[in-house]
Amino acid sequence: MSERPAHGWQTVREEVLRRIAEKIWRPGDPIPNEADLAAELGCARATVNRALRSLSDDGLLDRRRKGGTRIARQPVGRATIEIPLIRTAIAERGARYGYRLIERQEAVAPGAVSAALGTAADAAFLHVVSLHLADEAPYALEDRWIVLGTVPEARDEGFEAISANEWLVRHLPFTRAESEFSAVPAAAARSGALDTAPGDALIVHRRRTWLGDKPITQVDMTFAPGHRIRTQQ
């Protein structure tokens, strides 16, 4: 390739971004076709094509077979949250991981849990509550209901040395997951294990998973005060 970077597709991309930033081209506006742009900018049509593809992949251009290419209107943004193992998340912060089992018992789940997962109201669950620690400080409280009809071998696991979070990931994949993020006052049940002060607010990640049509689990992961869930896009 004899094309030098200074005249490459990145330069064309920058020029399109400049025109958008200076409102020469506004959301919804059509832009010239590739041949005209190539002639105007003095580069190969393939170079323009590569630049427009990159901008289109970023969601900045709408390219339609009929009607040509337009500057995208962006009614919906997206943020992708990665949900790592808690142990991995703590290790990635350079902290020492700790784990403590608080409660483990076979029980019938609250009606809201069995209804959301789609089990019978009297289905058998294993209820496992545990604490994840980073450098000895509470990091997240895991309050989990496991559907024993789907995962009967959870009965044989004490969850004293391994968290249900990690055991399930190792044990069984899922095909569908629902997540809900909300905020709760520290005064909410059990949050005492997180060493909270009365006025604290906590972020909760509730997650349900299924394998095919078989419900696996619902978990509330409640994070210690100050926790932030970050994404890039």
Question: Which 7-66 positions form the footprint of a second copy (CB under 8 A)?
Answer: 14, 17-18, 20-21, 23, 26-27, 58-60
- Is 68 a residue that touches a second copy (CB under 8 A)? no
Nearer to a second copy, 130 or 165 (CB): 165
Region of 207 (left: φ > 0; alpha: ψ -120 to 50; beta: rest) is beta
- Is 116 a residue that touches a second copy (CB under 8 A)? no
For residue 134, give the amino acid letter. A
Out of 33, 46, 155, 182, the residue judged to bind a second copy by CB under 8 A: 182
Nearer to a second copy, 4 or 170 (CB): 170
Minimum Å gap between C-beta 217 and a second copy is: 12
Q: Which stretch binds a second copy (CB under 8 A): 30-38, 83-91, 92-100, 131-139?
A: 83-91
- Is 184 a residue that touches a second copy (CB under 8 A)? yes
Distance CA 219, CA 206 (A): 6
Burial class (CB within 10 angstroms; exposed 0-12, middle 13-18, buried 19+) of 113? buried
- Is 93 a residue that touches a second copy (CB under 8 A)? no
Distance CA 82, CA 75 (A): 23
Minimum Å gap between C-beta 53 and a second copy is: 14
Q: 93 CB contacts (<8 Å, ≥6 apart)?
A: 134
- Is 123 a residue that touches a second copy (CB under 8 A)? no
> How would you write 171-211 as a 3-class SS string?
HCCCCEEEEEEEEEECCCCCHHHHCCCCCCEEEEEEEEEEE
Residues that bind a second copy (CB under 8 A): 14, 17-18, 20-21, 23, 26-27, 58-60, 71-85, 88, 150, 153, 169-187, 199-203, 207, 211-212, 214, 225-233
